[in-house]
Every structure is written in C-alpha cells, then in structure tokens.
Amino acid sequence: MNEKVKDILEWGYCIIIALVLALLFRYFVATPTIVKQRSMFPTLQADQRLILNRTFRITKKKPKIGDIITFEAPTKEYNKWEADQSNPVAVYNKEPQGLYQKFLYYSLEITKKSYIKRVIALEGDHVKIENNVVYVNNEPLNESYLQPDVVTESEIFYDFIVPEGYFFAMGDNRTKSTDCREIGCIPFEKLEGIVCFRFWPLDVFGKID
C-alpha cells in the first residue's frame, strides 16, 4: 500500500469516527432545534433556536411538570366520539420500514414530525379540565406562563388518569395547539428532548420558564 492510499484511508477512518461520535452526542446528549409552531406562544416564538437536553436517554430521568419538551407526533387525532377517558393514549401506527428509513427517521430525524409542548401531568396523575381550569389530582394547576385571555377547554380528553409510562402535555397557546387533549397521552419512549435553553435570538438568550 503506497503512502497516498494510506493517508486517504486514515482520513476516511477519522471522518467516520467523527460522524459516529457526532450522531451519538446528538442522540444521547444534546441537539439544537428550531421552533416552527405557534402552540407555545408567547413563551416560544417561530424561528427561535433551542438546545434540547437528551441525557434522559442515558439516565432514564423523567421530565418534571412544567418542563417544555419535544416528542414524536402521533399518527392519529381523536374526535369526541372516539375518545375513551379510561384509555387516553396516543396512537403510533406508521413506523418506518427498513434499516435506511429507520436511520433517517430515528438518527437523523429527517422524515420525523415532532411537537413541542409543556408537561402538565405525569403517570398516575388525575387530570380534569373544567371551566377553563386544569386540575391535577384535584388541585388547580398554577399556570403563570399563560396569557390572561387563554381558554383551556377540551371535549375529547378532559377527565382521566395518565397511564403508567405516559405523560400529558399541552401548548401554552391553547386555542392554537394540537396536543394531548386531542391526541392522548404520550409514552415516555416517544420523548425526544427537554428544552434546556434558548440561544437565538440573542436578546432572549437563556433559560426558559
């Protein structure tokens, strides 16, 4: 093997190792994301850049009530005649097929649709939405992050217990948010990231409440 070929192979190995490390860091530690939806207004606005913490995939630590999170979008949105208050779970029935498609979907996240919402309740919590108030375990939830005129209502999932292994989340901009009121509770395995901080634009750089 001549010296030139050897140099090319060494560079190739270095590039492959760097790409693998970058993918592992992105999947298990942290990754940037861009806000594309209005569902978290005014807390988050379109085109703002965030850093997602993904270390929960290693530590198995679950998000807290009040955390802003991202998760894989379910494939079904319920109507009020379909909703079963005793089984308020999201439906995922369109998994990618084949190794390449799974790599694009789960590792590069190119073909995946995601939602960004705020955690309202965790497994075992009793959620009731009534008269524009969200009750968690019979206590009204303090939602100081909402605008004064926000209306929280639901005719689909409104009185249920969050199943084991799931969480319930809603957007801060309730009338413009498709969330767990319509799609059901989300399994923890579909959690993609916990918002760590906002890094763009610079005038709102920092932690998000």
pLDDT of amino acid 21: 93
* CATH architecture designation of domain 3-201: Ribbon (2.10)
Please state the rounded mean pLDDT for residues 157-167.
Answer: 97
H helices of the chain, in order, are 3-28, 56-59, 99-102, 180-183
1 pLDDT band (50/70/90 cuts)? Answer: low
**Token pair for 35:** 């806000």
pLDDT at 123 over 90: yes
Please state the rounded mean pLDDT for residues 152-160.
Answer: 95
63: CB partners within 8 A, 6+ apart: 56, 69, 119, 122, 167, 191, 194
Which amino acid is located at 87 in the chain? Answer: N
Count of C-beta atoms within a 10 Å radius of residue 132: 10
Measured distance CA(115)–CA(90) in Å, rounded = 13
pLDDT of amino acid 133: 94
In order of 1, 43, 113, the CA distances from 119 in angstroms are 58, 14, 18
Element (H, E) at 204: none
Please state the rounded mean pLDDT for residues 45-66.
Answer: 94
- Which one, of 146, 154, 69, 157, lies nearest residue 114 by Cα? 69
Measured distance CA(182)–CA(170) in Å, rounded = 10
- Please, are residues 106 and 54 in contact by the beta-carbon 8 Å criterion? no
Please state the rounded mean pLDDT for residues 190-205.
Answer: 94
- Which one, of 134, 136, 127, 165, lies nearest residue 152 by Cα? 134
pLDDT of amino acid 98: 86
- Which one, of 174, 181, 208, lies nearest residue 83 by Cα? 181
Mean pLDDT rounded to a whole number for the chain: 92
pLDDT of amino acid 138: 95
| φ/ψ (deg, to 5) at 4 | -65, -45
52 pLDDT band (50/70/90 cuts)? Answer: very high
* Lowest mean per-residue pLDDT among 109-113, 136-140, 158-162, 184-188: 109-113
Please state the rounded mean pLDDT for residues 84-111.
Answer: 88
88 pLDDT band (50/70/90 cuts)? Answer: very high
Residues in the chain: 209
**Token pair for 45:** 């606005």
DSSP at 175: G
